[in-house]
Structure 1
């Protein structure tokens, strides 16, 4: 996603994998001996905020470098645990501090940051024109070197008007915004807003692999990247729903509100 990003290349120029893991196993990786080192299962009571030891928030309506329309808040109207083991981020159509929509952007910056391993979240996306959910990571040095030098790993982002297709992307110096390294994955049957799906990356010093439901649809090798590789440092996690923006376009009269991203869990593993 995000800071100072121009529109991605249109999907017709992006390789879209149009088969599910049930129909093609050719890109499955060998089983690895993972050990979970951190997780948030979101098992709080209904209406509770996420654990402050793990999460903080971005607040405001700056457009976020993409002409986005929402005001990010930390209100329970926009983010809360549901009492059933989920965290729910809600985008609403409402006037708030001069913005026409509200939502939430949750981040682990300064609290939980990770270098290498498997990072995964099980979640169900929102949908609709102009709705832009994402599960992603930024380099922990962003306040020192800025974007895209800090690096960005988009584990999952979705255009709400295309609810069967997600994208996984890397941004870095020399390959950011419209020149980002990206690939999309489409469900052959179904939509990402109808059921929970597992989105993950497996990341080491030489490559980053992207998964949907444990199907690897993209591998990005360090040796093949034209530009500086900046993924050898710690990164923090982000979940958000943007409304509008360069990447996804803007809501229409057919966009239903409120829209929810429901997150079952997020987990981080290291290899034993």
Structure 2
């Protein structure tokens, strides 16, 4: 909102009978007048330098030896998670913080009716728009059956359900298809149940299992651009539909992070599960959020 400032000079006069005092005291007073009819000046989110001055507003670097309870909470259970997954997500024994990285570990062990255990972490903080980066290394290529993911869900999922809440898949990997990564967007209008998801398809990445890579998304009210390692390496560019609504663009609201390794499932277990691949470990170096 633009503001105009006017300086108003207030004069004090002392009135005398038959004359006025010529040496009046003068006082300056500043008054702010707001003009609500003038729209705010906004930046062009499509400008090439738009993200240059984005500032780091939140991160977890996974230093130390314990997971931050201020940043993360466990989501537990062995209910299949809507995808017929096989793991039991536990809140102990499947996460380690050491040597500057978070380790999420999927194991072959029987707990409460499941033959596999793993961990699923949700961030406590939520974010709307920003440059999101997660640097991670996928589990070593040992065989079929695991489904690691770094992703986000709309914070209203408990009220509207999935996929109406929206889902942003910053990185997905299935071990029956090594050396590839996937970027995907889900909504009520576009999701894998209907076969209408917005996806990059398999993106070749020969060193995904051997090296750390940065998986990022540039997220504004107008687009989401997914990239690997640098902002100019865009692999999926999803523009807000010209006629948008909550069904096709539920992405202008707070989202939270999720990090997990699923075992089996409709996609991860498409070609079965090789029990010799466990333990399977995904390492996360950091999660960072930059905003304008």
Deviation track 1:32-54 (CA, whole Å, cap 9, x = no partner) reads 22210000000022xx2x10001
How many Å separate the matches in 1 of 2:243 and 2:134? 26
Q: CA 1:194–1:224 in 2, change beyond 3 Å: closer, same or farther?
A: farther
Q: Partner of 2:81 in structure 1?
A: 64
Q: Which residue number in structure 1 is paired with residue 165 of structure 2?
A: 150
Distance 2:64 2:121 in 1: 16
Residue 163 in structure 1 maps to residue 184 in structure 2: no
- With 86-95 and 216-225 compared, the bigger mean Cα shift is at 216-225
Q: 1:124 aligns with which of 120, 133, 137?
A: 137
Deviation of 1:73 after TM superposition, in Å, equals 0.6
- Give the whole-Å Cα distance in 1 for the aligned partners of 2:121 and 2:131: 20
Greater radius of gyration (CA): 2
Cα distance, 1:185 vs structure 2: 5.0
- Displacement after TM superposition at 1:252 (Å): 3.5
Deviation at 1:218, TM superposition (A): 1.2
After TM superposition, the score normalised by the length of structure 2 is: 0.77
Q: Greater relative contact order (Cα 8 A, min sep 6): structure 1 or 2?
A: 1
Deviates more, 1:137-146 or 1:124-133: 124-133
- Name the counterpart of 1:100: 115
Give every structure 1 segment of 4 or more consecutive aligned residues whose post-TM-superposition deviation is greater than 6 Å.
none
Q: What is the CA–CA distance in structure 1 between the aligned matches of 2:64 and 2:263, rounded to whole Å?
A: 27
Alpha-carbon spacing, 1:247–1:185, altered in 2? closer, same or farther (3 Å): closer
Deviations 1:185-206 (A, max 9, x none): 5336x33110000001110001
Q: 2: distance between equivalents of 1:218 and 1:208?
A: 8
Q: Does 1:135 align with 2:150?
A: yes
Match of 2:215 among 196, 199, 205: 199
Q: What TM-score comes out, normalization by structure 1 length?
A: 0.82
**Count of matched residue positions in the alignment of Structure 1 and Structure 2:** 235
Q: Which runs of 5+ in 1 are unaligned?
A: 1-28
- State the partner residue of 1:13: none
